[in-house]
């Protein structure tokens, strides 16, 4: 018996179609036009599997799909007994994502044990993660480096090898439709310098305002949005420790979203929130989603 073409079925069908197309703004605008809705870039909210306390658990996709407003899950590449170094695991996550119409917008945890961004194996680790990202239709991989692992941006002998490695790896990322998003303990100005030295559109900043405050740049976190600009910001992490976004914290998130609106950022907002358990995560996420809907203005496609 054929499936009755209800609006719900059509929504799910167009969502799956957009998933296979990489969730482009243009693709979703076409889907919206087919439904007779406004052609506006959708509010793309995702959450880390780690925040859901479900790393290495295929059910993270199904669980995320049941949270109203959540469209994607950021997976960990190398963490967990079942991780994305195994192509079979990648295929299973892709199958679950297709089944539940959930995107996998980004991959974190790209380094194998003992590997850092300045390690000889860093480029190989990125390439292996790019392969997984391409299979998953994932647009960004998160390359993290903090404190002693971050380069001294006043010394070419410190940042030079990292720039060279990223320049060599970036074309592989671009061929796969992937951007390498750098998340680190550098100031916004040093992040801009590093990105501009690499000078490749497949390398950007995975901007985490809460981290900026944590590493001593609280006063620069929100101005850093304009300093970096839309073209350098690949993704945005959103968090306020164990508190809701509307509660006091190191970042005024309402002000931060205003600045992101100003630069017409239309990418994903990925929660990296802290919760005691999955149930608390779901409850808090629904409240945080309401806050985002109130303050984030997505541009028209």
Torsion 6-73-42-139 (CA) sign:
negative
Angstrom distance (rounded) from CA 290 to CA 246: 10
pLDDT score for 145:
98
Predicted model pTM: 0.87
Backbone torsions φ then ψ of 234, nearest 5 degrees: -85, -40
Looking at residue 20, its pLDDT comes to: 39
Residues of the chain with CATH 3.20.20.150: 43-295
In this predicted structure, what is the pLDDT of residue 298? Answer: 84
pLDDT at 66: 95
pLDDT at 39: 58
Residue 253 CB coordination number (10 Å): 24
pLDDT at site 26: 44
How high is the pLDDT of residue 81?
84
* Confidence at residue 59, expressed as pLDDT on a 0 to 100 scale: 97
CA-CA distance, 11 to 191, in Å (whole number)? 39
Strand partners, 40: 300
Q: Which residue, among 146, 133, 86, 79, has the nearest Cα to 111 in the 3D structure? A: 79
C-alpha 259/C-alpha 144 separation (Å) is 24
Coil vs helix vs strand at 204: strand
Using 70 as the pLDDT threshold, list the residues of the chain that sit under it. Answer: 1-40, 301
C-alpha pair distances (Å), 295 with each of 12, 78, 233, 292: 26, 34, 19, 5
Please tell me the predicted confidence (pLDDT) of residue 128: 97
**CATH class of the region 43-295:** alpha beta
Question: Using an 8 Å Cβ cutoff, are 235 and 270 in contact?
Answer: yes
CA 161 to CA 164: how far, in whole Å? 5
């Amino acid at each position: 018996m054929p499936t009755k073409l209800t609006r719900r079925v059509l929504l799910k069908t167009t969502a799956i179609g957009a998933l296979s197309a990489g969730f482009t703004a243009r693709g979703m605008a076409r889907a919206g036009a087919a439904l007779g809705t406004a052609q506006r870039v959708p509010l793309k909210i995702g959450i880390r599997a780690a925040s859901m306390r479900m790393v290495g658990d295929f059910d993270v996709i199904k669980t995320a799909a049941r949270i109203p407003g959540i469209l994607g899950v950021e997976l960990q590449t190398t963490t967990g007994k079942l991780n994305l170094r195994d192509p079979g695991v990648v295929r299973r996550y892709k199958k679950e994502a297709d089944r539940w119409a959930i995107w996998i917008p980004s991959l974190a945890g790209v380094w194998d044990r003992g590997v850092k961004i300045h390690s000889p194996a860093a480029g190989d680790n990125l390439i292996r993660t790019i392969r997984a990202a391409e299979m998953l239709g994932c647009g960004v991989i998160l390359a993290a480096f903090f404190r002693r692992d971050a380069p001294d941006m006043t010394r070419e002998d410190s940042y030079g090898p990292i720039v060279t490695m990223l320049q060599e790896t970036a074309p592989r990322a671009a061929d796969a439709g992937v951007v390498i998003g750098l998340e680190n303990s550098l100031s916004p100005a040093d992040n801009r310098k590093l990105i501009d030295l690499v000078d490749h559109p497949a390398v950007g900043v995975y901007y985490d305002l809460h981290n900026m405050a944590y590493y001593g740049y609280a006063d620069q976190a929100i101005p850093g949005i304009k300093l970096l600009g839309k073209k350098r910001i690949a993704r945005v992490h959103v968090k306020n420790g164990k508190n809701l976004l509307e509660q006091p914290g190191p970042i005024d998130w309402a002000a931060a979203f205003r600045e992101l609106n100003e630069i017409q950022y239309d990418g994903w907002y990925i929660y990296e929130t802290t919760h005691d358990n999955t149930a608390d995560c779901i409850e808090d996420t629904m409240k945080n989603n309401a806050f985002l809907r109130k303050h984030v203005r997505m541009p028209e496609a």
